């Protein structure tokens, strides 16, 4: 399940193979094709996201 981000040329490819045919997954791939990307990767995300570290379970704060 993948798509290039935004317009890449005349055709816009996205892949919806086996296991991808779920409403949310299809919408996600189409959104990428339209140029939307994950909010947590936005360059200005720190202006809008506040992490409350005391609310994170011990041992779960590292990726």
Residue 32 assigned to a binding site: yes
Residue 40 assigned to a binding site: no
Residue 38 assigned to a binding site: yes
CB atoms within 10 A of CB 20: 14
Structure letter (DSSP) for residue 60: -
Judged by DSSP in three states, 44 sits in: coil
Find out whether 32 and 5 touch, Cβ atoms under 8 Å. Answer: yes
| Binding region | 28, 32, 38
Binding residues for Zn(2+), by number, are 28, 32, 38
């Amino acid at each position: 399940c993948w798509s290039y981000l935004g317009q890449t040329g005349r055709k816009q490819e996205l892949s919806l193979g086996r296991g991808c045919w779920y409403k949310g997954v299809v919408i996600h791939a189409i959104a990428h094709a339209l140029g939307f990307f994950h909010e947590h990767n936005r360059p200005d995300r720190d202006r809008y996201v506040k992490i409350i570290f005391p609310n994170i379970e011990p041992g779960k704060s590292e990726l």
